[in-house]
Amino acid sequence: MTQAPSQVQLAELMRESRVDFGTSGVRGRVEDMTDRVCYAYTLAFLRHLARGPRVARRLALGGDLRASTPRIMGAVAAAALDNGCEIINCGRLPSPALALFGMDEGIPSVMVTGSHIPGDRNGVKFNTPRGEILKVDEAAIRAQRVFLPPSRFDANGALAAPVCLPDVAPRARLAFIDRYLGFFPPGCLGGLRVGIYEHSTVAREPLAAVIQGLGAEVLRRGRSAQFVPVDTEAIRPEDVALAQEWVPADRLDALVSADGDGDRPLIADEQGRWIRGDLLGILCARSLAADRVVTPVSSNSAVEKCGWFDRVRRTPIGSPYVIEGMEAELYAGGQRVVGYEANGGFLTATVIEMGKQRLSALPTRDAMLPVLALLSSARRRRVPLSTLCAELPSRYTASDRLKAFPTEISRRCIAAFWSGDLAQDRYTIETVFGPDLGTVAAVDATDGLRITFESEEVVHLRASGNAPELRCYTEADSDQRARDINRRCMDILERWREAPP
């Protein structure tokens, strides 16, 4: 096998390797994410940050609990070390903890994680000293041309010599824990029994430390040595069953968890019902007395209907768009600006004050803050979590996905509704969905296709930016109706697998 050229245009490498930017960071199949590919991405990122010929002098590095993560961390470290950059090995910790550490230190950081996607895939998240990269940064990284030393890799793209990471420095993880122990009142969770669904989330230790540190009794359940792809937007039936089993058996006030890298929360109430992420976002924003809220177009419309906020801004799906929206609200005069995604990940753009305590801005997805905000609100008011949820307008959402559904087919299916062939009855919106949902009132193409019917029921179709999946979100005025619509839509979409438009 011939050796690859040493000078590489990153955009070309991306096409060859099939490892590309998704909604948040770079993701791909583990077999495609060779050391050479990960080295190239890291070097391109550092070159993007460079001023003149020099790259950053220090880089914070962390990862999740996937089997492939240590190897990829080694490839990232090799790129940094080869270019004169000191590595601070932060070990296995939540993505927001690593980003916060980088921001506090004024240095870039790299998190090796595939978030919630299956274990045969992985990814790399890049953070500048100001926070996670935005779309403009992605474009600049794509444009980089990097030098890959031929002797660094073997014919299969693996490092020819392994890289030994420095010992783990616990500062980032401890600072993240202290961030919340120092913000919420001491003992504010006293009297609560909280279960932690540990599975393979890297947030399991920080969650336990903070919740117990604030006075709650913690019960740990479900730790897994194998990676579990918990998706907070498409909760697995087995996880629904676990909550229904553990909550009454352990007499829990709440069961909490997070996805693989700890930036998307899961919270079940005292009845063992998982609370959807976009509802968590509304309740968290309320508890923090936010005046302006930014959230993607796919989130529940209760955020507008509740009337709790001065302004709500909708964006395309993805944390970079939410961050850009928060920046716009800051510029427009927002005093307490927050954001959240439908997966529950919560972001803050401004300092949040609670009495004499101040919580610095963290403009990246975080699972810890919404968990603590809801638990503390419920305890302060001496009501169960279900009461907080009952105060929201009666708007219910459901979501599901078709796995192993090629992105190009997803986009072609959605685009068929906008093509010049809409006269073909088979693919008009109303002939496809009308028998179940009625007349179309409005259509929003901000991200995918969001259809609002005259009944105020909603169907939103979107190709995932992180994996070959077609996602369907539905909204109605009852939980059962939202789920019924979602099942019906999934039946329709499943037929597209066999006969796409």
What tokens appear for 333 in the block? 């005069």
Q: Quickly list DSSP for 43-69.
A: HHHHHHH-BTTB--SEEEEEE-S-TTH
**Which residue do the tokens 């638990």 mark?**
375
CA atoms of 374 and 389, how far apart (whole Å): 10
Q: Which residues are catalytic?
A: 115
List all residues 6 or more positions away from 299 whose beta carbon is below 8 Å from its beta carbon.
278, 281, 314, 340, 341, 342
**Considering only CA atoms, which of 23, 31, 56, 29 is closest in space to residue 42?**
56
The number of residues making up the chain comes to 501
Say which DSSP state 425 is in. G
Q: How far is CA 263 from CA 47, 103, 279, 362, 463, in A?
A: 27, 16, 16, 12, 21
Q: How far apart are the first and last CA of the chain?
A: 41
Q: Give the sign of the dihedral formed by CA 231, CA 233, CA 237, CA 239.
A: positive
Lookup result for tokens 């809409």: 422
Query: 62 with 98: CB under 8 angstroms?
Result: yes
List the one residue out of 209, 48, 240, 237 whose CA is nearest residue 144. Answer: 48
For residue 70, the tally of other CB atoms under 10 A from its CB is: 12
d(CA 367, CA 94): 9
Burial 389-426 (b: 16+ CB within 10 A, else e): beebeebbbbbbbbeebeeebbeebbebbeeeeeeeee
As given in the structure block, the two tokens for residue 50 are 């460079």
Whether the CB-CB separation of 281 and 390 falls below 8 Å is answered with no
Outline where DSSP puts E strands in 85-216. 86-92, 109-112, 121-128, 131-132, 145-147, 193-199
- Residue 209, Cα to own-chain centre: how many angstroms? 22
